[in-house]
Structure 1
Amino acid sequence: MTLLPPRLPSVLAALLACALGASAAEPSVEELYKRLNEGGDVAKQAAFQLFRRGDQDQRLRNLLRNAEGKTKPGSRLCILESLTYGALAQGDPTRPRAARELAFEALDDPEQEVARRAVRVFVNIEDEDTYSFIARRLRRLRFASLESGPGQRALGLVQALERMRNPQRATEVLARLLTERLGPQLESLVLDTLERMTAQRFRTPEQWVNWTERTRTLTLDEWRRDVAARRTTRFRNYEDAAEDWFKALLAAVANDHEQLLDTLRRGLEQTTILSVRKRAVLELARLGRVEGGAEGPLRERAVALLRSQLPKPEEAAVSFDEIQSLVIQKLGSTGDPALLEEIARFLDARSSRLRAAAARALGALKAPAAADPLLAELLQERTAQDRDLSVVGELVEALGRIGRSRTLAGERVSSTLVAIAREAQAAGSDDPHPSLVVTRTAEALGRLSYADESDLDEAVGFLTELAEAADPKIRFAAATALGSLQHPNCFKVLASRLGREPELYVRRAVLDAVGLQAVLVPEVANEAISLLAPYLFDLSDTGGMRRRSFDALRRLTRNGADLPLLDRLVRAVLQNRERASALAVLLPFLRELPEPDSLGEEASAADRERLLGLIELRGWALLPQEPRAALADFEAVLAGRGENATGLAAAPLYLGKGRAKLALELPAEAFAFARAAIEAAGEEPPERLLVDSWTLALDAVEASSKMQPGKAEELFAQLGPLAEGLPESLRERYRALDEEFKKAKASK
C-alpha cells in the first residue's frame, strides 16, 4: 500500500514561516489580536504568529467558536489559513494536533466559506494522525443530527475524507465507521460518500469492510485505476438508462396525456440518474406554465406532480437536495400566482440554498405580492448572525425582477437595497465576496419602476457612486442600470464615463447605456449621436464598439424612420471628415430610408425635403458600387422636387446622374448631364460644383474617345461655347484634349 504524502521539507517550511512574517522582534499578544481584526495580510501574519506561540490555542478556539458573535468571518478565515502553515512549518509535533483541534471547532461555522476552509485544513495536513483523529471524532458524533452543530462537524469530517489525496486510506476509515452503530443520517451520508468515491454500492457494512481488506494490497495507482474503470462502466450504464427514458418520454409526447404524465412520474421516481429527474422536472414545468404551457387539467396535474416533490413543512431536509431546489425554482417559472405562498414558505428553510431557490422562484413569478415576503426575508438575513451573502444576492435580484420600488404594504424596496449594498461595501474583506451584493443591487435598481421621485433620486445617486467603483463588475452593473432609468442625471454620468472607462467590457456596457438613454430621454438624443458617431469609423471594430454604436444608432433612428434624428446623425458623421469614407459609414443607415410616397399626406414639407435630401445623399453613397441604384435615387429626388428641381438646386442631381451613367459605360448620356449641370449652375456657381461638372464632362469625352472616337470629337466641340467658364485647374487638361483632337483631324 502506498505511503501517505510526506510533510513539507524543513527548508520549505522555514521559507513559509519567513513568508508569513516570522521576525526577530514580535509584537505583543494583544497587539497581534488587534491586528487580527484588521483583515488582509496583516491579519494572516498575526494569526500565524499567535498559533505558532502555542499558548494561545484556547483563545483562538474561542474566536473560532464565535460564541459572542463578535469575531468577523474574515478573522476566522485568517486563523484557519494559518493552521496549515503553522502545522507544517514547525518541528513541534504538538502543532499539527492543535491545528486539527482548532479546525474541528470551525466545521459547524454558519458562514459556509469558513466551514469550507476548516475542511481544507484537514486535507492540507493529511497524515496518519489526521485519519486517526477523524475516525475517533466520527465515532463520538455517530448519532448526531446533521442539522445540529455536532452533525455539521461530522459532515465536514466526511467531506474532508472525500477530498484526501489518498482515497484508498480514506475509504478504509469510512468503511470501518459503518461497523459501528450509526444514526440514520450519518449512515446515509457515509454510504453515499463511499459510493461516490468508489463507484460501487454494497448492501451491508461487512461487504464494505471486506472490499477494503481485499484492496489493501493494491498500490494507490492500482486502486485508482480500478475505481476509474468501474466509474466509466457505471457512467455508461447511466447514459444508456437515460437514453431509454428519453425515448420513452418522446414516445409519450406523441401519444395521450395519461402516458405523458405516467412517464414523467416514473422519471421523478428515478433515483439512479439525476439528469433523468431533472429532465422530468423541466418538462413538467413547461407543461405547468400559465402562458404557453398545457391547457386545463393537464396543466393542473403537471403542477401537482411538481408539488409532490416538495418536502412537507414538518420535515427538515437532512441536507441540500438539488431536485427539491430545482422544483422550487421551476414552480416559480410557471407564472402561477396561486403558488406564491407555497414557494414563500421555503424562505424560512434551514438550507441556505433552498432559501436562495425560493428567492429565485418568487422573482420568476413576478407577482407584485411576492415583494412583501422577499423584503421581509431580506431584512431578516441582513441582521442574522449567520447570514449568507449568496442568499442576500438572490433576494436582491428577485426584488429587482418583480420591479416595484415599494411593496404593496408601502415599504421602500429601493431604499432597503441601497442600505444593504452600502453595508456590504463597508464590510469589505470581512465578508466573503461583498461585491456580489453590490452588483446585484445595481442590477435590481435598474429594473425597478419608481412611483416616487425621491426613490428614483436616491437610486440614481447611489448608481452614480458605483459607476466610479474600483471593481469593474460593479461599474458594469451600474452602467447597465443607469442606461435603463429615466432621470436627467443618468446620461450625464454615462457620457462622462465613456471616455474614461479603462475596461473594454465595461466600456461596451457604457456605450450601450448611452444608446438606451437616447431612446428613453429624447432631449439627449443629439448629444448621444455626437458621442456614438465617432465609433462608426473604427472599421477594425476593436472590442465590438463599432457594432454596438451602430446598433444603438439604428435603434435611436428607428431603422431610418426618425428622419430628424437620422439627419442629425448624417451631419455628425460628415462633420470634419473625408466625404467618401463618411458616406461609406452612413450607407447602412441610408439604405433603410422609406420611399417618398410612404410619408403620407400628413407629412410636412420640411419632412419631405429632409427625406429627399437623405435619398440624394444615399445616391452619392451608392454610386461607387451600385451606380444603377444611385441613378434611381437621383431620379427619385428630381421627381419628388418637381418644379423646384431647377437651376442651381438641380445641378448636383444632374452631376450625380452623369456620374452614374458614366459608371454604366454610357459616356454620351453622362456628357449630356454634365453639360446640363454646367448650364444649370448659372453665372456664379459654387467652385466645387463647377469643377466637378467640368471634370465629368472631360471624363465623358475621354471615355467616349475609347469607345466611339468620332462621337468624342463631336461632344468636345459642344464644350467650346462654354469654355469661358472653364475652371483654371482644368484648362491644361482641356488644351491637351483640344490638341489631341486637332492632331487626329490633321492625320485624316
Structure 2
Amino acid sequence: MSAARARARRALAGNEGMMVYDDRDRANVLEDLRDADPEVRRLAVERIDALDDGEALAHLVARLGDPDWRVRKATVQRIATRPDPDETSQRLIAALADGENPGRRNSAVEALVAIGARALAALMAACEDADADVRKFVVDALAGIGSEAATAALIARLADPDSRTTAIDAGQDPLVRFSALHALDTLEEPMRADELAGVLGDPMLGPCGLALLGRSESDPIALDALLKGLASGVRAARESSMRGVLRLAARFDGAALADLTARVAEVSRAVPNITSSAVARLPEADLGTQLALVQFLGLLRARSAVAPILEVGRDEALAQVALGALAEIGPEAAEELDAAWTRLSQERRCAACDVLGRVGGARAIERLVASLDDGDPMLRAAAARSLGALRVEQALAPLVRRLECAAPEEDPEGETERAALVDAIVALAGPDADGCPPAIAPRAVELLARALTGSGDETRLAAARALGRIARREDAELVALLMKDPSARVRRAAVDAIARLEPDRTPELLHLAIADESPSVRIAAVRALGASRSESGFDDLRRLSEDEDPRVRAMAVQAVGRRFAANREPAIRAAALAVLSRACDDAAPVALAVVEAVKEIGGEAAGYVVPLLGRAEPEVVREAVRCFGDHAEPGEVEALLPLVSHPDWSVRAEVVEILAERGVRQAVPAILRRLETEQDDVVRSVTLAALQRLES
C-alpha cells in the first residue's frame, strides 16, 4: 500500500464522527484530490468535509469528471447528501454543458437524480436553457426522478424549439424532444393523441409518439392514430404502431379487445403489406422487435406467419412468446404446421408438437398420433405429452403400444420417452381431482396388464408406474401380481400404488413389501406407512427402524418421529421417542433422520438431539446445533457454549451464529476467549458479527 493511501485511510478512520477539521486536514484533502492514485482521490472525496462548503462543492463537481469510475461514484454519493440542494443542483446543471467530458455530464445527471425532488426547481428552470445539450440532459435527469412535476416538464419539452429551428437547419436530430419521448415511455406515462399532435406528424419523432399511444386506452383517437400508423410506408412507424396496439390489447378484455382485434384485422386485410412486411422482417430484426412482431402476428392470427414464428422460436428468449402466438392463431396454425412438417427440422417438430397440443383439432391429433411412430424418441415424447394435454382417448392404444417398444434402456433419451408416455396415459385414464376414474380407465388397465406380459424390465416398470397412478381398488389383484415381479423397481412401483389405493389402512400387500429382500422396496414401504392415515403402521415402522440397511432405518426413524412422537396415546408416544433416542447412537444417516424428525415435531422434542452434540461427525453435530438452537427454550441454549471450541470450523461458526440469534449474552466471555486463538478467517468474521449483535 502506498504511503498516500495509508495516510488517507488513517485520516478517514480518525475523522469518523469528528465535527471539526484543522488546516492540516484541509491541506491533505486538497493534495489527495490531485493525487495520481484513484484510491487516494476517492478517499479524499470521502473526507471532503474538511473543506468549507463552497470549496467542497467546487471540488466535488470537478471530481465528477474524474477518469476513475470509483471516484465518480463516491462523488455522486457525497453530492446526494449535501444540505444545499438548490446551489448544488445549479452547479451540476452548469456541468451538463461540458461537451469535452461525457463522463462528467453523465455523472452530473446521476447526481441530480440522486438529489431527487429537491433538484426539481433548478431542473424546471433549466428546461429553458439556451443550450439544447443541457436541455437534453435535464430531460434525462427529470426522467430519472420521475415525479408528477417532472412528468409535466417532460410533456412540455415535446414542443422544444430546437426541433423547429436550429436542429433542423443544422440537419441534427431533435434530441430534446426525442429524449422527452423516450423518458415518458420509460415512465409508462399515458399520453393522449392530442398531446402528441405536434410529434405524430414528424417523420423522425412520430414512431416514438405512436408507441406512447398504447397506454391511452381511454382515448378513442389513439387507436385511430395507431391504425393509421400500421398502414404507414415507414417501417419504424409501422413497428411502433404494432407496439402501441399490443399495449392497448394488454389493457383491454372482452368486447373491447374483440373490437380492437377486429379493427386491426380489417386494416391488415386492406393493407396486405402490414402482414407480409412483418413476416419478412422477423428473421433479421433485433430481439425486442421480434418479440413485438411475433405477438402482433399472433394477434392478427396470420396463417402466413406460422412457420416463420415457429422458426424464430429457436431463440430461448422468444420460445414461450412464439408458442403463445401460435396458440393464439388456433387450429389454422395446426393446418399450417402439418402442411410444412416435412420441411421442419426435428427440433422444430418437437416445438410444433407443443403447439399442436395447445390448439387441438382433428389435423393436430392426426399428426401427433403419427409422430408416435417417428424414429426420434424426443419427438415421440413431445407428441405423447401433447396427446396427454389434449386428453385424446383415441390415442390410448397407440400410447400403450408405443410404451411396449420405447427406446431401449441404454438410450439416454429412453427414460424421457417412457416418462412422457406414462404421464400421457395417466392424463387420459387417471382419476380426476375428486378421485373419480374416467370411463376409459378399465380399458387402460386392461391394455397395461397386457403390456406386462413377456416385456422387458423397463417396459414393465413403465407400465407399473402408470398402473400405480390409474389403478382402482378393484384392480388390487393386478397390483398384487406386481409385488411378485422379479424386478425390485417394479415391486417398488407396486408399493406406491398400494399406498395410493389404501391410504386408510395397512393392507397385507404392504407387509410383503416390509419383508422384501430389496432395500429400495422396503424404503418405499416406509414412505407408504409414513404417509398412511392408519394408526396401525407404528409397529411396522418401529421394526423397520431396526432394519439391516441404514437407509431404511433412517427413513423409518424420521417417519416414526413425524407421525407418532406427538401421539395422543402415551404408550405410543413414549415408544416413538424411544426410537428417536436409540437412533442417536446409530449411523450418521440415521442420526440425521433424528434431527429431521425433531425439526418437524419442535417444542419439547428439541432435547432429543442433545446426544448428537457429542457425535464425531461434524455434519451431524452442525445439524443438531441448528435444530437445537431453533427449538430449545431460551434457558436451554446455553448447552451449546462448550461447542464454541469444537474442532470443526463449521460447527464453531454455526454455534456462534445460533448464540447471537438467540441473544445469549452469557456467551460473550466464552466467545471472546475463543476469538483470541481462532485461526479460521470465516469463523473470525462470523464471531465478530455475532459479538456486535450480542453487545448492541
User: Which bin holds the TM-score, normalised by the shorter protein?
Assistant: 0.3 to 0.5
TM-score, structure 1 length as denominator? 0.38
- Taking CA–CA contacts closer than 8 Å with sequence separation of 6 or more, which of the two structures ends up with the larger relative contact order? 1
Which of these two proteins has the greater Rg computed from alpha carbons?
1
